[in-house]
A and B are shown apart, each in its own frame.
Chain A
Amino acid sequence: MKKCLIFVEDNKSRDADDLTEVVDQLYGSRNGEKYGFGNKKALEDLDGTFDALIHAKNYEFDEFDVRNITNCIEELYHAYNFDSIMISATHLGRMLAPRLAMRLKTGLVADITAVNSDEKGIELIRPAYSGKLMAAIKIRGKGPLMMSVRQNVFQRKTKRIADSEWIEFPFKMIEEQRIELLSSERREESEDIRESEVLIAGGRGASSYFNELDALAEALNGKVAASRKIVDQQIASRRIQVGQSGKTVSPKLYIAMGISGSIQHIEGLKNIEHIIAVNKRKGAPICSIADIVVEGDGKEFIAKLLNRINRDGQKEKAGGEEE
């Protein structure tokens, strides 16, 4: 039986819940004992998923107080001798995990997206080189297996268990905080198209229906961008111009509507994961670099696609809560 500690961050119990799947993949669903550590209120949602839930007696740590969280987990490690420790790769997680690994003098693999576990041993898979390369990492040394896990990649598959054991731990190593939160502000959603993961870009072919791009952008949680030809016609502002003389963008998804794909435009596209080109001419240069080419009228495409998306949304609403 392997003992696994999962750190539970405030307001992120869903992530911790997902990490139980990593435990199952590593050791099998019956061989991994799942311990969760966090502040009491963060643990409440996890009752029934974890074998044990640990929080501090008479103490709540601040989210950014990495040093004290590290101190606590070190104490827990000495008390329980965990085989592995998992932390979600959030802003906090990425500061906590390496610190803890150095404290425990053990190896740490960051931001894993997959695991391989067989007779030969355990391999943790993670992206490198700005996502262009995948690396499979092995752990050396005798310490606990430590990893930070990318969010939204794993999902709990096992059923809930009966009851979690609640443990109030009397931590002794808590010290004075050396970092103080002065203020916090929600960041305004940036206007900058470079910060969007999804871009719907209109070119000359989209001049007549450029305004319809907004609806599609909204449905996909993205932003609207424009080629030079659109900006020249003053249909859109230069701020959203993509290209060599405009902005260079690297969204995950780029939908090019009515764009022929001059080299000046293409120079503005870097490292895009998926390109969909919608064009009346499938021979337009941009189609040669697209994953999907939709040959036809862009305005029609938007209407039909939105229709299809909405149909699905309605079905979900009608279907009610899933198990």
Chain B
Amino acid sequence: METKDLLNGLKEILAEEQINTNEEDLYDASADRYKKYAKVRRVLDVPSPKAIVYPNSPEEVSQLLVYCNDNQINVIPRSGKTATEGGLENWKEETIVIDAKNLNKMIKIDEYNMQATVQAGVILEELEEEVRKKGYTTGHSPQSKPVAKLGGLVATRSIGQLSTLYGGIEDMVVGLECVFPDGHIARIKNVSRRAGGPDIRHIVIGNEGSLCYITEVTVKLFKYFPENNQFHGYLVKDMDTGIKVLREVMVNGYRPSVARCYSEEDAKQHFYHFHKDRCVLIFMAEGSKEIAEATGKGIENAAEKFKDRIIEKVDSELLEEWFENLNWSQQDIDDEFEGMLENDSHTGFTTEVSADWETIPKIYDNVIKRIKEEYHRVEDLTLLGGHSSHSYINGTNMYFVYNYEIHCAPEDEMRVYHHPLQRIIVEETLKLGGSMCHHHGIGKFRNEWTKEEHGSAYYMLEKLKEAFDPKNIMNFGTIYPQKEGKKFQE
């Protein structure tokens, strides 16, 4: 389809000011934070979309999707732009980005029923600030909070720093509204729980834009008791100990909001002023006075049980200060951009996985060992480590972090550094039955392992795609492997 015809078609649905064809914006829209370095250095290898559009209503979204479905135009659903795994990357010549910018109303904050309803383009931090005024919190606190929007947060099955208490987004979503490629607008109503067949919300939560476009979300509210927050920190002998203490806290029924264990090198990044080359274990107890105190006690009991492998306690004040400075802001992102222009480096990459209690330490050890032995550029690594940051009664996650000096052309950076490292991590994780993506999603750069990740259950995912997006116009390349897209994955 010719570009001008494509644009003309859009003009029949939307007003001129809702269609953006600015070259710089289109270049920026062709990739997300995954290829941040190549983008800054202007050596992206993917095509730019033809336009970015800003619908004003779910009806307009519906019309847009029908138009794209009829004309085989690839659609990239976008809201906060904070994607880190290629979810927003464009692999097709004929693509439009549907941006939720104008779907930014906070529709209702229902205090009595503890629910907040917003459109997909509302920034999480703005919602959070609004409910805080009334003494509540959404409990959702990813590092991207100041910038990320609800549409993307739900589409990616995101999780926040306080998840061990409040859960992931899937535990917070009540009802939602979304639009399918055939134009159908589906509205899932808000109820506390029901058994009306399978839980269809889960077709939408985590679809990463490959099945539908989210337009509205309702999330739960929680009462906010910041005055009762308690920090507990310890320097521990090794990761194994740290994970055992985490487990002890969880299996005994406690739900701290923050429960983390950092390996030595990773700890150095955050806690160089007190980590003394050790692993750092951190907890935060939150909630009503009684709950916070009880949780605090639970944590102390767990530490007591492993006291011979705990080196020392950490001053809570130090932890509080650290926690306050954890989130990104738009300025962080802008600064990082400038930094990548000036220097041959960036803030590094991460690959994060999940497994049960027994398996996670094994995965951690296997990965570190294999990287040190096999990875051909191990001497360029300036940091290699990991931390566990989201725990459940039956397991936890492991966030591998790696920074490196970039000693190659910007176009080759991913091939030389991130991809081989990611491969080792994913392979070792899948080998032992863990999941290769705890909360970052599959995006486009782990889709070669999607089938292995799901095994025989992949059948169910596949059928969903066939049913809802038979013409494959929704975010081509995300989750579902595509032969045509392989060239962009090198």
List A residues at the B interface (Cβ < 8 Å): 228, 231-232, 238, 244-248, 260-264, 266, 283-289
Contact = CB atoms under 8 A, between A and B. Distances in A.
A232 B331 contact: yes
Contact of B347 (A244, A260, A285): A244
A228 B339 CA distance: 11
B272 A285 contact: yes
Interface string B258-288: 0000000000111011100000000000000
B331 A288 contact: no
Contacts of B340: 245
A245 to B, nearest CB: 2
A245 B336 contact: yes
Given A283-B318, A286-B273, 12 more contacts: A228-B335, A231-B335, A238-B338, A244-B339, A244-B347, A245-B342, A245-B347, A246-B342, A247-B342, A260-B321, A285-B272, A285-B273
A263 B338 contact: no
Nearest to B315: A283
Contacts of A248: 343
B192 interface: no
A228 B318 CA distance: 21
B273 A288 contact: yes
Contacts of B331: 232
A243 B433 CA distance: 40
A287 B273 contact: yes
29 contacts: A228-B335, A231-B335, A232-B331, A232-B335, A238-B338, A244-B345, A244-B347, A245-B338, A245-B339, A245-B340, A245-B347, A246-B339, A246-B342, A247-B342, A248-B343, A262-B325, A263-B270, A263-B272, A264-B347, A266-B272, A283-B317, A283-B318, A283-B321, A284-B273, A285-B272, A285-B273, A288-B272, A288-B274, A289-B273
A245 B335 contact: yes
Contacts of B317: 283
Nearest to A245: B339
A263 B322 CA distance: 11
A160 to B, nearest CB: 54
Nearest to B269: A263
Interface in B90-141: none
Contacts of A284: 273
Nearest to B271: A285
Interface of B: 268-270, 272-274, 315, 317-318, 321, 325, 331, 335-336, 338-340, 342-343, 345, 347
Max chain A C-beta neighbours (<10 A), residue from B273, B331, B336: B273
In order of increasing CB-CB distance, the 10 nearest A-B pairs are A245-B339, A285-B273, A288-B273, A263-B269, A232-B331, A245-B335, A245-B336, A228-B335, A238-B338, A263-B272
A243 to B, nearest CB: 8
Contacts of A263: 268-270, 272
A247 B340 CA distance: 11
Nearest to B318: A283
A285 B271 CA distance: 8
A286 B274 CA distance: 11
A245 B40 CA distance: 13
A245 B328 CA distance: 14
B73 to A, nearest CB: 37
A286 B321 CA distance: 13
Contacts of B274: 288
A244 B269 CA distance: 12
A283 B269 CA distance: 17
A170 B135 CA distance: 96
A260 B338 CA distance: 22
A246 B340 CA distance: 9
B429 to A, nearest CB: 27
Contacts of A286: 273
Contacts of A244: 339, 345, 347
B62 to A, nearest CB: 41
Q: Which of A245, A262, A263, A286 has the most CB of B within 10 A?
A: A245
Contacts of A261: 273
A190 B441 CA distance: 48
A247 to B, nearest CB: 8
B146 to A, nearest CB: 13
B324 to A, nearest CB: 11
A246 B331 CA distance: 14
Contacts of A247: 342
Nearest to A262: B325
A106 B269 CA distance: 50
Nearest to A239: B342
A45 to B, nearest CB: 47
A232 B329 CA distance: 11
Contacts of A232: 331, 335
A42 to B, nearest CB: 45
